[in-house]
Structure 1
């Protein structure tokens, strides 16, 4: 069995497979890991590989790095997928490692999608990583701190891989166009860098996708001189509308929702629209955006602009009534309003304080004058007695501390503190005026 399958020069193999780097010097990107004096470069130079987890988006070179580390350190490579492999397959890999160790060879276990390991799989793997029989190289697109067992995580250093830049993706494609052994070099295809830039942007940081798009695009070349030329017009059919798609359960999905929220909170309408457009273009549900806007309306705008929440709910209703195309404009309308509106988190702070306070008051009881009295028995117990109907009071306000609606046995607290922003400034003035009425009523009692 070939433990480290080299990329084939078979023209039937996909271009991304054929162009997979075989040495670290051929690797593009991740200079923080593979550059001079960096961790993975040092492992290759010393031949000593430590357990690690490679965390990054698709197409950033996780599998390739594992293969290069195995090849250049002279280790035996076992390749498993957490989706397909069970405890049986892990035990088989352990036995293979024991055989390799008897032959004086170390074993690297590359475990793809390590975040999908269940407890029994992790229990089967852990002692062999601890003993050093296996050097683990896990690969994941999900945050390992949330998805990987803490015992396993503590024995492996996490290395973060970044999406490739547009410049790096163009370099990857240019290599494929000039490589006569594994790439498209024999075809002598002329491609403007601006065309490669379009493909790079469509690939969204994914080298594998960039090479796949390049290969598809080169099916539409036209003869020119002694070679071929890739016209820009061919790109539209190749890229289509799926170029920006992302995993709805992955980090990017939630990162975009986070960026929308923080842009609105920071009063940056253009940035909010940018991330909303990217979210929807990538296949995100517009209703997920409007749900987040509804939360923002109370959490970050609140009473500084009391129109905010009704406007978001109207946008939600408009989207459902108008359909997706026209409805997206209503969502943008709401997002711009929230971003431009004055901001206050006074409601959010008051609600959190109230919940925390009540959690420490298990014996809290409602004052008798606020209690309901639907029966004669309840009336005889004093329920509802002393309640003052606000609309019958001067200024429609029952002034005085004897009617502050607060439980007698609990010290009075102030949760809601209006800010000086927007309409909330007026709320603060109203509350201060009512406090003066309370003081006057108490003085006259």
Structure 2
């Protein structure tokens, strides 16, 4: 059952406890296991990947099983309904349209003998991790693959854990193809991250790895960062809802359960000024759970990380939300746009009574791979920028170099770097001798 609390001090303590839920006492032990996997894959390539897939996923694969075949990709279209295919295509359209608006533009600015600019270029290869296990996630495929495509990444590869009988969910395979990815490998866990980071005989080494996963995937991404780039260290998902007396309790309860059904560590939080709404949401959640297909998992999540808090004002709710910095924030209030300027930290913000988080999860367009566990204080959603890097463009004319030579000389001497100063001085002398030739 969702707990209801009313004391502000207790609310703050509970929110902090929930935010800290990823601080696993077993992290050191798990990290040691991940290090072992990373080193084995780095040394042994495919052999280690197959070994750990058998050990951790109970799937005995051969090398030729690693890459999903063209015939499997074709067959996937026969295994999804027309309605699902249409939904995937609508999501693709919306996600691509949104991300195309986010592509940063290269620029060059010409001044008095000085040219400055910034040039954006995509990475050569991107590895996209799509989790398996409790559910299939075609939406995660789209949210990772489409920004990479829009960024112009020439080689995009997906890794995802194999299911029973070495299978990959058909919706995942269709989503990948609709997003422009044909290169898919049936491998998950830390061994998949290692294969992408270091390369194997079969799986290519990439430049950037994106996508959420379990604690072993997250630790592997953390440990290979520097060898490759990563998007973020994603933790369990979370939603925080701010609701006033006009919110529909059934809707709010459904939104809380929609988050809790993801994972036993998912967090579902309601902050409201109305004690009647709190009681009605609590009762509605109980009713909705009665025939829930994922009842056990969902109940576990709300028992540990579910919360309904009655607060004195919407302003206090906003303050508490900013301190928590939720991955998803729903403003189920009459005037959400009035609250928006005061929201400082949230991964994605859903405004109004008719905007559930589910629209953002699937097809609104903005990315659903978001910062968790308070990381929204400093981090942002996955986007086109994740797959781009930028280079500075600098050009000085002889005259412009002459004008700044003195300042460079002073700064170089202050840092004890005489060759820095000399590199400018020699050019000035040569330019004076040759008559300032460009």
In our comparison, the structure showing a higher alpha carbon Rg is: 1
TM over 0.5: no
Give the TM-score band, short-chain normalised.
under 0.3
Q: TM-score, normalised by structure 1?
A: 0.26
What is the TM-score normalised by the length of structure 2? 0.27
- Greater share of helix: 1
- Say which structure, 1 or 2, has more relative contact order (CA 8 Å, 6+ apart): 2
